């Protein structure tokens, strides 16, 4: 499968030919646009209900261009308990990781904060 996330720049992501200017969740066959978190820059388990329902092998979190979004400890704990590889970091780096995991054939989901 080729890269479905074609590009990322601060505040903009191109996925399968469509440009998104708000945070989003990306699955190999579906996009959930306008992803918003309960506490903005603190990622909680409730913010990842759709990712957890998908039951990925790998979950990728883009924390923003400068990694300003933080992740609650219980998020890390739950993904570890479910043996789901959970990777988080600057959105640009995580876009590349999402595409790499997809290319490897992993069942991957990505949630991306596009700005700060």
Q: What is the mean pLDDT of each run of 10 residues along the chain (116 residues)?
A: 90 97 97 94 97 98 97 97 98 98 97 96
| pTM for the structure as a whole | 0.96
Q: Is 54 helix (H, G, I), strand (E, B) or coil?
A: helix
- DSSP structure class, residue 105: T
pLDDT of 83 reads: 97
pLDDT of 90 reads: 98
Identify the structural domains of the chain with CATH numbers, from first to last: 5-112 (3.40.1230.10)
pLDDT of 3 reads: 86
Q: Which of 59, 88, 92 is nearest to 71 (CA)?
A: 88
- DSSP structure class, residue 57: S
């Amino acid at each position: 499968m080729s890269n479905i996330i074609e590009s990322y720049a601060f505040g903009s992501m191109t996925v399968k030919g469509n440009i998104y200017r708000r945070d989003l969740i990306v699955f190999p066959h579906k996009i959930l646009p306008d992803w918003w978190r309960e506490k903005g820059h603190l990622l909680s388990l409730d913010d990842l209900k759709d990712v957890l329902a998908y039951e990925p092998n790998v979950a990728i979190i883009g924390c923003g261009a400068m990694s300003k979004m933080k992740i609650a400890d219980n998020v890390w704990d739950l993904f570890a308990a479910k043996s789901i590889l959970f990777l988080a970091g600057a959105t640009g780096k995580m876009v590349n990781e999402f595409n790499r995991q997809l290319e490897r054939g992993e069942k991957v989901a990505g949630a991306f904060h596009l700005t700060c």
